[in-house]
Structure 1
């Protein structure tokens, strides 16, 4: 499965082009991207630990940390209410705990289990902030930006749990999380495709997402616990990055709609 349509470390080359939050759609986009980065950082950590796509994985980890911190500052500064600001203050604390585990301790199976646990707190608060920004928007397109943005997170979450399962970190639980995320991802694709706001360009990108999903899902289905080979794990890592790049473009296209 050599479908390296993008280089893993540059899948999000356009991310961060806007120095500050432009409007509420952009806030929802960036807030939702924080969810993804929590899962992407864990995925990269697990890949490095298992010597999977080591060079790319290190670049992904470093860039994910840097982008999370950049956007965290922007979202806190843009917060239109004390409630939203409070969420991002809490996220700041959870992120610092998570980052400390990602960067401050020698990687091991025991530390990997802690990383997977800590990313859950970051994800929950990032999702809370995204929902609050969507509510502040009050527009149908805000919901679509949120849904499209969540697809990025799900792509990384499935790959993370694949790599966790390969290490036998709660293998049964990891498989259940992959199944849950798969069902949500496929249902959301239909929502995005059928939305009245979907432009021709958005639908074209979703066709690409369907094709990349086929390769990614095939890799996910080949997990056999500790028997997962480095080649299979590499395929899942790379295709998750490819799918992420496509869904990030879709999110941006929805974010740019002024309806």
Structure 2
């Protein structure tokens, strides 16, 4: 039974990353906000997986997950470019594509500790560019729904960002801004979670999922306060738990606000 549960969880994450693109067409701008928001999350998930592979940690098959995420980022970008209507969004997506092409090649090479600091910076720039595109799509909705989908989707990214920062530290990357970056991610996640909990559009399903996310997030707050080292596999698992639940929440917001 436990093996079956683990397999189902793996399938669930795999579907989250690759639920594509044959099955997921962009029906409206809320969909575009959701998919563009996933791109932000992918930048941090790829960094997390890259560090796990570099450390030789095979929990969650990070090598396989990394390749799936690389493919998903590429497919999502094509989908967004096909849907984009205004010039500002098209230009933003073109800029992402220029940044992505060399990064894709580096991410498929054997992870190297000496290269990861530059890779982190480049993925940070890709995250910024992806965030810009997401906000442009959110603005195009012309209503508050775009913002709530954007915020919920950003929580997916923050779950992976918190984990990737910790993985890099465990791997041995000396980042003088590590504490500041982690604190900023934690504060933004917490404040956004509080806003989502108060949203008037929430239903019972969303509230139940938000409660699960809140319980998982406590783990990251404990990790940040503790002077002890946490096992990377626990960080990996908790970040995936939050990702899975926040992805479900984001898609529920899309459905509600698209009506």
TM-score (norm 2): 0.89
Cross-structure match for 1:13: 15
Q: 1:119 aligns with which of 123, 133, 140?
A: 123
**In 2 relative to 1, CA 83–223 (structure 1 residues): closer, same or farther, beyond 3 Å?**
farther
Instruction: State the SS of the aligned residue for 1:109.
Output: coil
Task: Confirm or deny: 8 A CA contact 2:59 2:233 kept in the other structure.
Answer: no
Deviates more, 1:159-168 or 1:33-42: 159-168
Deviations 1:137-187 (A, max 9, x none): 011111000000000000000101001112332343122211110000010
**In 2 relative to 1, CA 14–47 (structure 1 residues): closer, same or farther, beyond 3 Å?**
closer
Deviates more, 1:162-171 or 1:43-52: 162-171
After TM superposition, give the deviation of residue 217 of structure 1 in Å: 3.8
Cross-structure match for 1:157: 161
1:219-238 superposed matches below 5 A: 219-222=223-226, 228=229, 232-238=231-237
How far apart, in 1, do the equivalents of 2:188 and 2:240 lie? 18
**In 2 relative to 1, CA 55–14 (structure 1 residues): closer, same or farther, beyond 3 Å?**
closer
Structure 1's unaligned 5+ residue stretches are none
Q: 1:129 aligns with which of 128, 133, 137?
A: 133
How far apart, in 1, do the equivalents of 2:189 and 2:14 lie? 20
How far apart, in 1, do the equivalents of 2:155 and 2:14 lie? 14
Instruction: State the SS of the aligned residue for 2:172.
Output: coil
Cross-structure match for 2:245: 246
Q: Does 1:187 align with 2:186?
A: no
Q: 2:144 aligns with which of 134, 137, 140?
A: 140
Could you say what the CA RMSD is over the residues aligned between the two structures, in angstroms?
A: 2.0
Cross-structure match for 2:107: 102
Q: 2:211 aligns with which of 199, 202, 207?
A: 207
Instruction: State the SS of the aligned residue for 1:158.
Output: helix
How far apart, in 2, do the equivalents of 1:245 and 1:221 lie? 25
Task: Confirm or deny: 8 A CA contact 1:219 1:235 kept in the other structure.
Answer: no
Task: Confirm or deny: 8 A CA contact 1:161 1:174 kept in the other structure.
Answer: yes
**In 2 relative to 1, CA 203–100 (structure 1 residues): closer, same or farther, beyond 3 Å?**
same
**In 2 relative to 1, CA 7–215 (structure 1 residues): closer, same or farther, beyond 3 Å?**
farther
Cross-structure match for 1:197: 201
Task: Confirm or deny: 8 A CA contact 2:96 2:130 kept in the other structure.
Answer: yes
Cross-structure match for 1:91: 96
After TM superposition, give the deviation of residue 83 of structure 1 in Å: 1.2
Deviations 1:28-72 (A, max 9, x none): 000000000011001000011012235521122011111111110
TM-score (norm 1): 0.89
How far apart, in 2, do the equivalents of 1:62 and 1:132 lie? 28
Aligned residues: 250
Instruction: State the SS of the aligned residue for 1:244.
Output: helix
Task: Confirm or deny: 8 A CA contact 2:36 2:134 kept in the other structure.
Answer: yes
Q: 1:166 aligns with which of 164, 170, 194?
A: 170
Task: Confirm or deny: 8 A CA contact 1:9 1:59 kept in the other structure.
Answer: no
